[in-house]
A and B are shown apart, each in its own frame.
Chain A
Amino acid sequence: MRHASTYLPAAEIADSVRRGERAAVEVVEEHLATIAEREPEVHAFNALTDAQARMAAELIDRRVAAGEDPGPLAGVPVALKDNLCTAGVPTTCSSRILEGWLPPYDATVVTRLGLAGAIAIGKTNLDEFAMGSSTENSAFGPTHNPHDASRVPGGSSGGSAAAVAAGFAPLALGSDTGGSIRQPAALCGVVGVKPTYGRVSRYGLIAFASSLDQIGPLAPTVADAALLLEVVAGHDPLDSTSVPEPPPSLVAGLDDGVEGLRVGVVAELMGQGVAPDVRRRVEAAAEALAGAGAKVEETSVAALAYGLSAYYLIAPAEASSNLARYDGVRYGLRVDAPTTATMNVATRTAGFGPEVKRRIMLGTYALSAGYYDAYYGKAQKVRTLVIRDFAAAYESFDLLLSPTSPTTAFPLGAKAADPLSMYLSDVCTIPSNLAGDPAVSVPFGTGDDGLPVGVQILAPALAEATMLRAAAVLEDAMLDQAMARAEATP
């Protein structure tokens, strides 16, 4: 369970540091202590940047002492998924192929965190190149779920989700290509947001599938996730797919409630494959929203039934191209061989794990002459249908509701030998990536096994504010229940 003793909302930490009531150095030391205690069991990090973090914290304290305001995340430790470039700090994507590579530049989100006074505390583990749903596909070993170390934390941002759940950092950034923020958030009992495609700059995010990838926050609370998203969102001239809209105001309206909002429960995401205990939690969430004044109905978004199939053509196709550059010529691993071509093959054979190879093969095939129309071309048509069906649903509803993951955290190794069952973990989260729409996973109680269940709220493009208002309502409902339970227990 979360280390409640060190837990404080990020907003409160930043406020106290900005007021000079608490030293950033002290905040960092507390978190490093928690990490020292539990990291051997959890393995959330590929690398800690403790020395840099201590120095950054001291700098924050000096600035506060000098009367400056270091920003809205002053002194708040943030864990960074290890596919976000950090200048001079190894960035591995949990792959052998990037062995020894030091990025010469910071990702835009890392720069923005620095400008907001946040402190990068370490690089978190992930499924290699973000390909996976359990963080078992890491070249550096799996991450364990802080709620039950025999279980996976989900993936691919499993290290970031586990870091937040274990109290290693109040905030973390992950990336979400088919559910890689939301699914681990659900399995670790934290909030995870996949923003609208283009909301957060991808500059410096090592690409898996460029048209689907999006960086987003993981945090213990909706308010902290909203705060982190406000800091990293906004147009970036270095990312051509970044939306021109100004960063959204999210925290301010968070308590405005859902009175009058129309919420649709997506039938296609509630059926076969969704565990009964998870389904019950989604139904409970629907009731909670209705109780708060929302108009909740079941609805159908027909094309979602084909989302998973389309995703597993589009994402590998883009990945096959994005990962071509790891050829041993310029950086990272090189396995020498007599010719350039054999060196390329030897390097890639040694450097990539089996899941990455599988997806490169799938994607290469899907784009090949003679197969393009039947696979990649058809998948793009399905993607268009998914977008169209979502758009139609959003004519009748402000938000949609579904499970985040069909199950709670599964045991390590349970699905490792069966890629298809692993792929099904993302069936509820993939559609938002295909459509480019935002979605959030918010913890909503536990399953029969006592492990966290996340429910997913989906919204149309750029409607993060409305989406997070609804997430805050669910969070409040859980708090109310917890307090009621506490009062009932003498």
Chain B
Amino acid sequence: MSDWETVVGLEVHCELATATKLFCGCRNAFGDEPNTNVCPVCLGLPGSLPVLNRGAVELAVRLGLALGCRVEPSLFHRKNYFYPDMPKDYQVSQYDRPINVDGALELPDGTRVGIERAHLEEDTGKSTHVGGGGRIHEADHSLVDYNRAGVPLVEIVSRPDLRSAEQARAYVNELRAVLLATGASDARMEEGSLRVDANISVRPAGFSTFGTRCEVKNLNSTRSLGRAIDYEARRQIALLEAGEQVAQQTRHWDEADGRTHPLRSKEEAYDYRYFPEPDLVPLAPDDAWLGQVRAGLPPLPAERRRRLAEATGSVPAAVAVVVERGLDDLVLGALAAGGDGRRLVVHAEHDLAGGTGALDPEAFAALSRLEADGALTATQAKAVLAELVAGGGDPAAVAERLGFRALGGDELAGAVDAAIAANPDAWDRYLAGDAKVSGFFVGQVMRATRGQADGKAVTALLAQRAAATPG
């Protein structure tokens, strides 16, 4: 058996961008002096009680609605286990009644990835192990910073709908875009405000039952995620092809050696002894409030891709980069000002990565028109665009200042004819149907005109001349 399919489901933990923590008024901020954003509640001091942050609920609901989830009456549970960076030695989390259920995320390639749930929970503190190479078992001592303890998280659990490392990365990027668009999170993997665990299994291609999965932790970038999925799939396939079993395990990704290592097996899994958190009351957002939250949602990436693709006559995947850069409004504005959709998209994707500077939709539209009309070549248009970004102005005037003009009909025809005459052997090969020679002639004409010829126009003229040559 050599055909295997990789199956991936992701659990993404994401810190919500609230001003304060989930159950107290302490600042939710990254990078402050350790243990300065703490109080009796988030330190879990005896006698303290949690009070749910309405702002966190709103951000969680915004995200849930953006993911097409149903927002349900929900309940907090206690997840009990001992860990020094968890002040109460239990985590307040949602368990069998999460706030958001049953949504989907549409990737740029059109894949719909099911979202099982997106629930609220509190973050833990952060341990630093001193000595022994930073690992807990060899450390001389450990330091704990509780600034992060009690920061609101949503855990977004996908269905096992992803089939490759590339798709998993696309999912995380798309989820990040939704988190940013909704304002739910700043979604920075490098600061840990977005953390990804991957459930990975493999199965023979075409099968519908799932293989035994491993959960891989410590994925600190989308690059690690991709590498870990590829590694883990290879590891599992090798086991199965050798006639062995995959053991259900939690595994740790080691960025340095590029492998996953076992953390604990199913038998060693914690018994979290979940039970309803008696210090909090059930959460039941009313419909009127949900309606307000829904009305306040911005257009989401998938919808923006669809809108831009439709307007410019492209497919959604082709405009994904433009939307990701947030240039879709500029393109749509330029389109409304009479611009050429295809050329606008091409420029937005390739030539505006560094920002739009002084460029306005009208100038962008005019530029694309000059190009579409043949007044500027693609190369010239790119140069003019750079000037517009740097200093604004009228594209025609900028082109003139730069000495740009596309060669007119007669001049261009003359240059093409001259190139044919100077290269009779090549022309014979062209006539014999060697398509590659077309590029040679375009190059010759470009050199002769110092780049003022439009490549497509040259190609068209070559075809015209060939048709007129008696065979």
Q: List the interface of chain A (C-beta within 8 A of B).
A: 83-85, 91, 93, 98, 101, 103-105, 107, 202-207, 209-211, 237-241, 317-318, 320-321, 324-325, 327, 329-331, 339-341, 344, 364, 367-369, 372, 376
Contact = CB atoms under 8 A, between A and B. Distances in A.
A104 B40 contact: yes
Interface residues of B, number: 31
B51 to A, nearest CB: 5
Counting chain A CB atoms within 10 Å of each CB, the highest count among B84, B144, B280, B281 belongs to B84
B318 interface: no
Given A104-B40, A320-B80, 15 more contacts: A85-B47, A91-B47, A105-B40, A107-B47, A239-B51, A240-B50, A321-B78, A325-B46, A325-B87, A327-B89, A329-B84, A340-B142, A341-B82, A367-B80, A376-B275
Contacts of A367: 80, 273-275
A34 B87 CA distance: 42
Nearest to B272: A369
Contact of A241 (B88, B274, B281): B281
18 contacts: A83-B47, A84-B47, A103-B45, A103-B46, A107-B47, A204-B47, A207-B279, A240-B281, A318-B278, A321-B80, A324-B90, A325-B89, A327-B84, A330-B87, A367-B80, A367-B274, A367-B275, A368-B273
B49 interface: yes
B308 to A, nearest CB: 45
Interface string B36-55: 00001001111111111000
Contacts of B48: 105, 203-204
A186 to B, nearest CB: 27
Nearest to A332: B46
Counting chain B CB atoms within 10 Å of each CB, the highest count among A83, A101, A202, A321 belongs to A321
B271 interface: yes
The 10 closest A-B pairs by CB, nearest first: A324-B89, A211-B278, A367-B273, A210-B278, A206-B46, A204-B47, A85-B47, A206-B47, A329-B84, A369-B271
A325 B42 CA distance: 12
A98 B45 CA distance: 11
B82 A344 contact: yes
A253 B274 CA distance: 45
B76 to A, nearest CB: 10
A48 B223 CA distance: 62
A331 B281 CA distance: 28
Given A104-B40, A341-B82, A367-B275, A329 B144 contact: yes
B275 A321 contact: yes
A452 B45 CA distance: 38
Contacts of A101: 46
A330 B78 contact: no
A240 B273 contact: no
Nearest to B273: A367
B29 to A, nearest CB: 21
Contact of B279 (A210, A317, A341): A210
Nearest to A341: B82
Contacts, number: 99
A204 B49 CA distance: 8
Contacts of B78: 321
Interface string B245-289: 000000000000000000000000001011100111100000000
A330 B145 CA distance: 11
Given A241-B281, A324-B80, A331 B45 contact: yes
Interface in B13-51: 40, 43-51
Interface in B49-78: 49-52, 78
A85 B45 CA distance: 10
Contacts of A209: 278
Contacts of B45: 103-105, 331
A239 B40 CA distance: 13
Nearest to A348: B82
A204 B273 CA distance: 25
Contacts of A93: 46
Interface in B86-112: 87-90
B173 to A, nearest CB: 37
Given A321-B90, A325-B88, A367-B273, A240 B47 contact: no
A210 B48 CA distance: 11
B82 A321 contact: no
A238 B273 contact: no
Nearest to B277: A210
A207 B45 CA distance: 11
Nearest to A210: B278
Interface in B285-338: none
B89 A238 contact: no
Contacts of B136: 340
Given A325-B87, A325-B89, A203 B80 contact: no
A85 B49 contact: no
A101 to B, nearest CB: 7
A205 B47 contact: yes
A241 B279 contact: yes
Contacts of A340: 84, 136, 142
A326 to B, nearest CB: 8
Nearest to A209: B278
Contacts of A369: 271, 273
Counting chain A CB atoms within 10 Å of each CB, the highest count among B80, B88, B137, B275 belongs to B275
Given A321-B78, A324-B88, A340-B84, A85 B46 contact: yes
A286 to B, nearest CB: 35
A47 B226 CA distance: 61
Given A237-B51, A329-B144, A341-B82, A321 B46 contact: no
B51 A330 contact: no
A85 B41 CA distance: 13
A203 B49 contact: yes
Contacts of A103: 40, 45-47
Contacts of B43: 330
Contacts of B275: 317-318, 321, 367, 372, 376
Nearest to A242: B49
A204 B46 CA distance: 7
A93 B278 CA distance: 21
Contacts of A372: 273, 275
A240 B279 contact: yes
B47 A207 contact: yes
B46 to A, nearest CB: 4
A340 B273 CA distance: 21
A461 B136 CA distance: 51
Contacts of B40: 103-105
A203 B281 CA distance: 15
B73 to A, nearest CB: 16
Contacts of A240: 49-52, 279-281
Counting chain B CB atoms within 10 Å of each CB, the highest count among A84, A206, A237 belongs to A206
